[in-house]
Chains A and B, each alone.
Chain A
């Protein structure tokens, strides 16, 4: 008997629902989904919302813009473009043959510190019109070879710099072959400024992409030297210049970290730079710049972010204002039936 109780109570529940489906009924079952009645918020872009959204953006963006701009302005940056000055006067018309010759390419530059520069001061070289992102260039490397000594002869992807005189090159490929080889020596008041070239590359690169048992072999042995030679006794994971260079840049104008000067520089101090102008950017009219820069929490000197924030914040503020003015002068009544197209021009169109 006890089994009867639940069933009868279930029947009671069923009969309470007036729409209880009959047996054999094809009546679709009710569900919020199939009846398209899922709970939803229906935001309507009312003038109030528009104005507040613009206002909100400007309130958030302007301070961020100010902070970013200040951070960027805090950064002291000295840029010296030297590719023309470092070519002797008599070679100015034929710079390519100068750079390819064995002439002495040492050149000295004077840099005046404009503002106090807090250590560490980063030394960059900046190249221009150099397509490190060219397809032929980007793929001309062998990651496995760089990483692992056992696959040192895996140079299949390195064409056309895969072997020299039939011997596989380590590191192979165009990227490594064209390694930047200008060198900078800094002195302040005739005193050598030490340039720290350690930890100028990303740690993940050093640890995972360049093996500490991979030694350069047959590098720059060809008839044509593309760039810097490597010390064949130092494993690649310690050749930080190479590691930096091998992280190819996104754009044809790029900076690469050369080293760090780990002392403060005072305003009006003059730094003498003795540089070896070895690298050939002359054939394609590329510029070369030497950059000394400090950093902020946001990196180097780059006003773009700050300006973009301020512009958008300002624009939103202006839009908010103008929408408010329009709203006050000629308010738009929400849901005015006279706006409806069939009310605007009766009788169709």
Chain B
């Protein structure tokens, strides 16, 4: 317990003074101060009184723009891109006389690009607007003038009394006043909020139960004092002042917007928070958008291009300063010369020519690059990742989904995976497997992990046959003839057994649903563990079938009445709920015969601390059993009870009620009160629940580690459980050198027992430093040898916290980066994020986090790529993630196939853009040398502006979408190919330099081949070509060459490639035929008139059109041949190895491939065929959403960690209100 505390709250850290201040504040705020600014006072049913506060309305708007801000704001967004801003600048510049080109040259591509982006933005925003409109216009019944009137959601105000009917959604955060159900209870479903589909109970205060009819409701005049709007979904503190009586309010009375009403005809409530102030809206914080590494590198490339551009311009400008001279009389430089050509002002000439050349060479910056990349990525994510059948999970009906298209190519470069354990690696399908009652272990069978361990030890495992009469159900995989079917009555310790079964039948917060018969009943539980326990109780003959706010009904089979059942009702006096600090749950119940018992279940550490004196033998034996269970990978819970004296209980209950009605720090005070009672417990036994591995996890992990990806498991579980899961998943094995850094050493325990936190922290830190140093020294000898054994590191949360200290961080990083796998156990959500950012920032490697629960949110957002497991638990992880998949094993497809392809494709696209623009612009540059550096354009304005957006735009998009080097099955067969992406093989400066070389070479060929031929007549009629004939010839060659070059870089050529490449070339010819053939009154284009027809009338045109592209592509082809012949890439060899494979495109192949499973997979698959429960939030694995404070601190705000801020379900507290 104390260990957990130390990690979870910063209090134990010496020197963290900020948290120390919080208690002081609590003292002053303990009193109820209605006027305090931190409180909100709402006058129910009193419009005018609320007016003074000017609360926000209930209409919401999630749009980014409105009709007036769209253009300015949208354009502003667009011009935040450097390339766009540059083009804007150039466009403005090109309207000045210094420009050699028509403004059209730069305007057209810019406006096309802007238009494309703006239309996209507008479309997205339009959809958001429609969505908002639809939501704002939903009708709701509002109390007005003694009757229900139907208004739209947006017209709601704070303080209104409203009526919500069954299956309707709550329009705002509402205080529940009355319900048609008895006892003021209503049921809600919060799937929209947290994805949990089980029903939850909300219960109105007794005082308000009657305000159900409009007539009654009109009379309701209450004053709600509550906290200010905040984003914490599971807390609410407030008081209802009614008839001068102050009643405490809790989350139990609050109906949150986004939830819907179930199983209740209607409810009446008062609106508390509206619109953007509702908790669900406050929660939808804008996740900072992530940019991929490739894109950031791309920025550098663009920067390099800018530098190139400036140096080209500088060279040209200097040249012009030197060149300009009066001797060229034909330039008319004698009088009235403008500054740019004035030989007397050479400096001015240089400056102005610089501007001229900037506009002239602007094509060097690929303006359409970003738009093309966005289009490609959008198709990749929306068409390929979202629609991949291989990543569709049929059982949960969940396809993969890319929630952002920014990070596709980042998936191809991942080096570190941080994985949650529960629900991600394991199935979170809990099955009651074993138990220990009164020092005796019950339950046969072996867990997968045990089987794995014994296989490693070389012991042949005999499959244990289920005994003939075994009762198996999902959630119950228990087999022991001594206990089932009432056999426990013959056990020597049957009394303890009875307590055991009662404990698991009573001490829980499960809701039964459906028919009250053992076969048909369904249990709604917050955690699958609880459901499994209640189910087990049912199987043992303690069938819990009904719950009312104050009672639990159990159908028991007793020793005394053999074979007969008896319905027993237990009065539930208090429920002390589970949370991550308490790590236990207690119920106080009164037997029909008046016996008062406290039943408690919780983590072993917590329970053992609170056991009474005596019974040391039992405690020791049970502890051994717990360790056994732990090493088998089972999740354990200790059960204990305590008989309460009525007098003691009364006294305690008063304190409890007082604590419950306190407005501030209610949770903390409740904890303190609970602590008073949960002591001197008597141990009953322990339960062991199996947490099954997800399908295909071990083989997926193996494949991924062959791909050079290092996998870290971050879990809140115990070290033993974590290590065992790691073994079962192939993360650790016996060939590895393992380093274990644990805080569970005798020395540390000893210091801890002294209880001085500062000293303990210091001591642990010192210990960790020693251990780290020792491990590092040992590990160092393996670093150098490449064929040495792999290393593995296991570290627990407490040590990790110390190791994350700046002084030790470097050591930790060096050690862990050299480990093939790392297991961190007992870590808090915040630490998960810290570890992730340690690797992300410290090692500058690309990280991926995968998890399923709210406790993984921080980690998911901290990593480069966050992946949420969808289809099972709550939606929080998915909402925070960048990609969501249904199964861990789909990572294989996502990374090795989609990620790898996306990376390779985008690299190709980027390099191609770079090359084609450079090649084109350089021809212009070479021409400048032949024009006296004056900045005369070589090409026609339209040629230059359409080059990027028409004649070379489409094919590259097809390559970015369709290029495939090897088939998906091969990329999984050879996961090592993935390393090419990790090593940045396809986009590094060497590759850029190579492409730059091609571009320079080709531009030289284009310009000098053409200009060398045009010195003489090129027509049998002896006439000469002019400037525009020559440039059109050169341009034609460039368009043809650049498009053909694209074909050369394709790994696979579909008909779309051919169509787009052919189409682009054709488009050019079509354009030039029209452009030079037609004269319009507006723009006669005398320069270009008839040019192409003159050119095509000569044989020279055809001879050159064959020569130049071949000559230009010769070097590229030679490079490709030599590279492939002598220095082949890995993927090229794999291509060759499998070039004769028949490419089956039969969809049935998808199904067939499933048939060939490894034994491991087959086993997993078999298990997966079992009927499966939609598992829920795992309360017992310490899933606490502490991410809020983590992200608040990222944004510079300090939010004290809220220990109680965990997912809780509606449960009933009896006698909470004094009668």
Contact = CB atoms under 8 A, between A and B. Distances in A.
Tell me whether A and B are bound partners: yes
Nearest to B1111: A312
Contacts of B384: 34, 36
Given A61-B1110, A255-B1017, A293 B383 contact: no
B1133 A295 contact: no
B1070 interface: no
A256 B1136 contact: no
A283 B930 contact: no
Interface stretch (A5-13, A101-109, A136-144, A187-195): A136-144
A27 B1030 contact: no
Interface stretch (B503-511, B583-591, B650-658, B1046-1054): B1046-1054
Nearest to A304: B1012
Interface stretch (A163-171, A266-274, A315-323): A315-323
B1145 A260 contact: no
A287 B1090 CA distance: 31
Contacts of B1055: 39
Contacts of B335: 160
A308 B936 contact: no
B1093 A204 contact: yes
Interface in B760-795: 786-788
Contacts of A248: 1026-1027
A37 B967 CA distance: 9
Contacts of A255: 1015-1017, 1024
A131 B327 CA distance: 12
A257 B331 contact: no
Given A122-B1017, A136-B341, A305-B1107, A257 B1125 contact: no
Nearest to A29: B387
A277 B184 CA distance: 115
Given A50-B1125, A134-B331, A204-B1093, A25 B1013 contact: no
With most chain A CB atoms within 10 A of its CB, the pick from B1019, B1022, B1098, B1106 is B1022
Contacts of B1054: 38-40
B932 A305 contact: no
B1023 A308 contact: no
A160 B1031 contact: no
Contacts of B1168: none
Interface string A300-337: 11101100110010011001000100100000101111
Interface residues of A, number: 115
A246 to B, nearest CB: 9
Interface string A276-288: 0000100111000
A28 B392 contact: yes
Given A247-B1024, A257-B1017, A299-B1019, A44 B331 contact: no
A348 B786 contact: yes
A95 interface: no
Interface string B940-980: 00000000000000000000001010001000001010010
Given A46-B1136, A340-B1130, A301 B1016 contact: yes
A32 B979 CA distance: 28
B934 A136 contact: yes
A298 B1103 contact: yes
A300 B1110 contact: no
What is the interface of chain A mostly: helix, strand, loop, or mixed? Answer: loop
A263 interface: no
B98 to A, nearest CB: 10
A239 interface: no
Contact of B1017 (A147, A209, A299): A299
Contact of B1014 (A18, A251, A346): A251
A18 B1151 contact: yes
Contact of A305 (B392, B936, B1019, B1103): B1103
Contacts of A312: 1107, 1110-1111, 1114
A252 to B, nearest CB: 6
Contact of A295 (B976, B1012, B1017, B1135): B1017
A42 B1131 CA distance: 13
B1052 A284 contact: no
Interface in B304-328: 325, 327-328
Contacts of A275: none
A45 B1023 contact: no
Contacts of A130: 330
A53 B1116 CA distance: 13
Contacts of B1134: 335, 340
A237 interface: no
A302 B341 CA distance: 35
Interface string A184-203: 00000000000000011110
Nearest to A342: B976
A25 B787 contact: no
B749 interface: no
B551 to A, nearest CB: 39
Nearest to B323: A131
With most chain A CB atoms within 10 A of its CB, the pick from B979, B1030, B1147 is B1147
B1052 A42 contact: yes
B394 interface: yes
B1091 to A, nearest CB: 8
Nearest to B931: A133
A334 B1139 contact: yes
A300 B1017 contact: yes
Interface string B386-428: 1111001010011100000000000000000000000000000
A16 interface: no
B462 interface: no
A57 B1084 contact: no
A38 B387 CA distance: 15
A214 to B, nearest CB: 14
B96 interface: no
A247 B1026 contact: yes
B1011 A137 contact: no
A174 interface: yes
Nearest to B871: A26
A46 B1136 CA distance: 8
Contact of A336 (B788, B1009, B1029, B1133): B1133
Contacts of A199: 1021
B76 interface: no
With most chain A CB atoms within 10 A of its CB, the pick from B1024, B1110, B1125, B1138 is B1024
A1 interface: no
Nearest to A61: B1110
A345 B336 CA distance: 73
B1142 interface: no
Interface in A21-35: 22, 24-35
A235 interface: no
Q: Would you list the 8 A-B pairs with minimal beta carbon distance, nearest first?
A: A335-B1137, A300-B1016, A335-B1136, A204-B1090, A122-B1022, A247-B1026, A28-B387, A40-B1052
Interface of B: 100, 325, 327-332, 334-337, 341, 356, 383-384, 386-389, 392, 394, 397-399, 708, 786-788, 901, 930-932, 934-936, 962, 964, 968, 974, 976, 979, 1009, 1011-1027, 1029-1031, 1051-1056, 1079, 1084, 1086, 1089-1090, 1093-1094, 1098-1100, 1103-1104, 1106-1107, 1110-1111, 1114, 1117-1118, 1120-1121, 1124-1126, 1128, 1130, 1132-1139, 1145, 1147, 1151
14 contacts: A26-B398, A34-B388, A130-B330, A132-B1027, A136-B332, A138-B936, A147-B1084, A202-B1023, A250-B1029, A251-B930, A256-B1024, A305-B1013, A315-B1114, A319-B1118
Given A39-B1055, A305-B1103, A347-B786, 12 more contacts: A28-B399, A36-B901, A42-B1139, A43-B1053, A44-B1139, A134-B934, A136-B934, A177-B332, A251-B1030, A300-B1018, A334-B1136, A339-B1133
Interface of A: 18-19, 22, 24-47, 50, 53, 57, 60-61, 64, 68, 120, 122, 124, 130-138, 140, 143-144, 147, 159-161, 174, 177-178, 199-202, 204, 208-209, 224, 226, 244, 247-257, 260, 280, 283-285, 293, 295-302, 304-305, 308-309, 312, 315-316, 319, 323, 326, 332, 334-337, 339-342, 345-349
